[in-house]
Amino acid sequence: MEIPGTLIEILAKANYVAVLTGAGISAESGIKTFRDPDGLWAKFNPMELASIDGFMSNPQRVWEWYQYRRDIINKAVPNPGHLALVEFEKIFPKFTLITQNVDRLHQRAGSTNVIELHGNIIENHCFSCKEPYFGETDLPGGEVPRCPKCGGMIRPSVVWFGEMLPIEALNQAEEAAMECDVFFSIGTSAEVYPAANLPYIAKRSGAVLVEVNPNPTVLSPYVDFRIAESSAIGLPNLVRLLKQKKGLE
Ligand code: APR
Ligand code: ZN
């Protein structure tokens, strides 16, 4: 797909670029998204597996589901879309990467200072006393590990439906949306708040809004540019054109 020259012109002059990513950027790393036809929520009930009530009513089922997802994520590798955002960090004078993803593929690709709005699936903590947990996670029979400090149940350090997002992360993300010159919404259905607010905050604050997604979303009518293809193809193309424009290649 042709990337508009006007977008390259704007990016060549941009001082501050902010990016919000969703599950779509990890799709080409073999990690299922949530709302695509073959996504996780087509097979599993999010309220049973990604909520406090779900964990309280059947902690072992939730624990096993996260172990299953962790196993897939640990085997996954960053794709060219993740790597292109590492280049973004080098090209733009100021850059903020905000993600809804919990897989830490951005960090494994080499992105630094990633704002994680929904926590991460790699770490665990105690459901009762919040103490970080570094003990064994693969217990016989899929048993839920217990906190050595208080005996409480151990849970993954992701943000579940109905839980507050980490306030510091959300404040930093909103600040980036308000101050950036260009805001990218990449690989997200833009349906889950408060993350889905960010592109609108950016637009209202005068940023150029760019969406990278092979499918249209609720955000699409509001964006200035749509790159309607996989982020694993669109983002490396954009980096190549931008480097040519800026004489970096
Ligand atoms: N490149 C870019 N985008 C893609 C690709 C791809 N290769 N493949 C799919 N997509 C797009 C889909 O078109 C869809 O719009 O990625 C988006 C994924 O949307 P969701 O599955 O809703 O994922 P996301 O937006 O990240 O969900 C937000 O919802 O369930 C909660 O906490 C969970 O963080 C998640 C939040
Ligand atoms: Zn505890």
Distance CA 106, CA 29 (A): 11
Q: Choosing from 82, 106, 118, 125, which is the catalytic residue?
A: 118
For residue 1, the model assigns a pLDDT of 74
Give the homologous superfamily in CATH for domain 32-75+121-158. Answer: SIR2/SIRT2 'Small Domain' (3.30.1600.10)
pTM: 0.97
**Phi and psi for 156 in degrees, rounded to 5?**
-70, 150
Residue ranges covered by each domain of the chain: 1-31+78-118+165-249, 32-75+121-158
| Segment 155-166 mean pLDDT | 96
Tell me how far the alpha carbon of residue 146 lies from the centroid of ligand 2, in angstroms: 8
User: Is a pLDDT exceeding 80 seen at residue 249?
Assistant: no
Q: What architecture is domain 1-31+78-118+165-249?
A: 3-Layer(aba) Sandwich (3.40)
| Closest atom, ligand 1, to C-alpha of 212 | 2
- 192 ligand 1 Cβ < 6 A: yes
For residue 226, the model assigns a pLDDT of 97
Q: Which residue, 102, 104, 168, 156, is CA-closest to 126?
A: 156
- Among the residue ranges 30-44, 106-120, 125-139, 214-228, the one predicted with the least confidence is 30-44
Measuring from atom 14 of ligand 1, which residue has the nearest CA? 189
Q: pLDDT > 70: what percent of the chain?
A: 100
* DSSP codes of every residue in 138-175: --GGGPPPB-TTT-PBEEEEEPPBTSPPPHHHHHHHHH
Tell me how far the alpha carbon of residue 150 lies from the centroid of ligand 2, in angstroms: 4
Distance CA 198, CA 35 (A): 20
Q: Verify whether residue 118 is a known catalytic residue.
A: yes
Measuring from atom 26 of ligand 1, which residue has the nearest CA? 22
| Segment 40-53 mean pLDDT | 92
- 231 ligand 1 Cβ < 6 A: yes
Residue from 26, 32, 34 whose mutation best tests the ligand 1 pocket (most atoms within 8 A of CB)? 34
107-131 pLDDT, tens digit each: 999 999 899 999 999 999 999 999 9
